Structure 1
Amino acid sequence: MIFVTGGAGFIGSNFVLGWLAETDEPVVNLDKLTYAGNLDNLRQVREDARHVFVRGDICDAALVGRLLDTYKPRAIVHFAAESHVDRSIHGPGEFVTTNVNGTFVLLEAARAYYAGLDANAKANFRFVHVSTDEVYGSLEPGDAPFTETTGYAPNSPYSATKAASDHMVRAYHHTYGLPTLTTNCSNNYGPFQFPEKLIPLMITNALAGKALPVYGDGRQVRDWLYVGDHCAAIRRVLQDGRPGETYNIGGWNEMGNIDVVHTLCNILDELAPKSGSYRDQVAFVADRPGHDRRYAMDARKIERELGWKPAETFSSGIRKTVQWYLDHQDWVSGVQSGEYLKWVEKNYGARNPAQEQVA
């Protein structure tokens, strides 16, 4: 059995679904069910006896310890995190609580659990910590992509708290011998992504006839990774990754935000045509504070050591994603609650138009 935290969120739920489709090994899934955690993401395994769902907080040391003692997992895969940069700017405290303190509580519980295992179980135990490329900071246009040895330079409360958690995970390996592995991924997209992030926000706003808000000049560059590819990479790291190591997981798909938005509009013009183009809804708004200009991932280490590379191109993955949102409008409606609408108004409502406009 494996123990997953945050398994009702975007990446976590895709991992749980993929895990149960690929293996017969059960999963204990601990999730607090905050705004971005949704049991509807796991609807297809609701009756699956291999999936044990527990609603709870990773900061609850007693609960985490009890679950480890009860289910005796051979591995922990840690997704649970506050992950949206804009939300971290408005309220950094929650990010410190979940990303830093929560990871510390989980590490302490794992250390106590690991100490009680026999030699064979210890040899097979793994703690996989899922992190982000944002811990590395921002790149200039001509800079080489991030590698696993790139120095940390986080620029937002979100990335700073993830950097702190990465360092704690590393420390628990070197100090206590806990067999940890860290993965730093690029920007994910795909099914079940909460529509506060760029791609699902653009899709849902476009279909609703709303403005498509693009920060600044829209030329911020990200490396886009289809979530199914990311989950496959984590499975490889869990299976054959070397304890104490870090693995960058990227999609080899660098694109500017405005180019992503235009691609989405083109696909929607084809799959859900309307009068005029969806591009007409693009609206440039004032940039967010401390907005990193470019991320790019060098994912050669995980390909060289573990044989993983992404199966999806951006072209194939983004088309699958748009089609998924078109086919799952009930899911979108279910997550767009009153609290979601309040957040959108808080983050975008007061922004002035951007100074620079891009055709």
Structure 2
Amino acid sequence: MNFLVTGGAGFIGSAVCRHLAGDLGHDVTNLDKLTYAANLSSLKTIEDLENYRFVQGDICDEALVYRLLVENRIDAVLHLAAESHVDRSITGPGEFIQTNIVGTSTMLQAARRYWDEDLDKSDSFRFVHVSTDEVYGDLPLDSGIFTEDSRYEPSSPYAASKASSDHLARAWGRTYGLPVIVTNCSNNYGPYHFPEKLIPLVVLNALAMKPLPVYGKGENVRDWLFVEDHANALATVALKGAPGETYNIGSNSERTNLQVVEAICDLIDARRPAEKPRRDLIEFVTDRPGHDLRYAIDASKIENELAWKSSVTFEEGLARTIDWFIENEWWWKPLQAR
């Protein structure tokens, strides 16, 4: 199949490109604006493949998106391009509105035009809109789980912008018949993760024996999904998912933020012993505004209907992630100098 992946130089997008082009042998066109969190080094393993092509460009450029769809005879769009850092959305929401809302509407318009005009592909074409569990708001610590029917109650500007883009995608499906599929995933982690996010930040700080900041008391709970499992799930949805459906993607790996940080400390202590335990580096800092308490994903629908299930446990995935960062300083060192 011919795929158009937006945001394919980002953390999750690059994993999707590596999986589709490198593992599965599909033709992949990667459209990325190359903003601060994008990194073409994440695509070194596939950059020379004949079935992979990178295009630098903006998802808000409808003419460009349409041209790529036509020129590459695209069968499926995997729309991942987004601003995604909650803290940045609090201090500067405008970019999130532009990219996540305006960008998604532009993508949908270009896809609709292409789908309307290409009768040969009209039955098989798919537009997969990749979103987050943060659109649902949060849950109590001791009960509840997000399903595909959960009410939308976004807390942050980031989550609100993604919620809006989800609604746009479904509206284009209902109003125009565009074969849209929406996915909502839990927190991703793994190799090539941009250093501002929790797990890579703590890993790199712990390796350097620097303070390890933890919001509040570290009691906030997240379900952690290994990025390669997510890439596999998105390929499965694109190939087997039903238009008009939503699929929640998670791994049933809930941990408090403090548990995650402590696990990283212990694993790095075992690999790089230091003069004191790295748990001593933990510092509790002022909580961020609107910090959701708990996320939990019910992934039974994608498991039952599409036969997908996460394969990497949190313990295995965290160890693999730490080992990758230890062994690949060439990738993350330049990012710290930005």
The TM-score with structure 1 as length reference comes to 0.93
Cα distance in 2 between the residues matched to 1:126 and 1:228: 21
Structure 2 equivalent of residue 293 of structure 1: 293
**1:110 aligns to 2:111 (yes or no):** yes
SS of 2:225's equivalent in the other structure is: strand
Contact kept, 8 Å, 2:249 with 2:302, in 1: the verdict is: yes
Contact kept, 8 Å, 2:269 with 2:277, in 1: the verdict is: yes
Q: Deviations over 1:271-312 (max 9, x none)?
A: 121111111111110000000000000110100101111101
SS of 2:48's equivalent in the other structure is: coil
Structure 2 equivalent of residue 39 of structure 1: 40
Structure 2 equivalent of residue 263 of structure 1: 263
- Cα offset, 1:327, TM superposition: 0.6
Contact kept, 8 Å, 2:31 with 2:54, in 1: the verdict is: yes
SS of 1:122's equivalent in the other structure is: coil
Percent pairwise identity: 53
Cα distance in 2 between the residues matched to 1:281 and 1:322: 17
Map 1:31-180 onto structure 2 (within 5 A). Answer: 31-118=32-119, 120-180=120-180
Structure 2 equivalent of residue 309 of structure 1: 309
Cα distance in 1 between the residues matched to 2:53 and 2:22: 15
Structure 1 equivalent of residue 12 of structure 2: 11
Cα distance in 2 between the residues matched to 1:21 and 1:68: 21
Structure 1 equivalent of residue 224 of structure 2: 224
Q: Which amino acid aligns with 1:161?
A: S
Q: Deviations over 1:58-117 (max 9, x none)?
A: 011121122112112001000100000000001000000000000000000000000011
- Cα offset, 1:18, TM superposition: 1.1
Map 1:180-329 onto structure 2 (within 5 A). Answer: 180-329=180-329
Q: Which amino acid aligns with 2:114?
A: Y
SS of 1:296's equivalent in the other structure is: coil
Cα distance in 2 between the residues matched to 1:211 and 1:263: 15
Cα distance in 2 between the residues matched to 1:303 and 1:48: 32
- Cα offset, 1:206, TM superposition: 1.0
Contact kept, 8 Å, 2:77 with 2:128, in 1: the verdict is: yes
Cα distance in 1 between the residues matched to 2:98 and 2:337: 24
- Cα offset, 1:143, TM superposition: 2.5
Which deviates more from structure 2 when the two are superposed, residues 161-170 or residues 63-72? 63-72
SS of 2:30's equivalent in the other structure is: strand
Q: Which amino acid aligns with 1:129?
A: H
Cα distance in 2 between the residues matched to 1:236 and 1:204: 33
SS of 2:45's equivalent in the other structure is: helix
Q: Report the count of equivalent residues.
A: 337
- Cα offset, 1:23, TM superposition: 2.0
Cα distance in 2 between the residues matched to 1:17 and 1:296: 27
Q: Deviations over 1:323-358 (max 9, x none)?
A: 0100111111121133xxxxxxxxxxxxxxxxxxxx
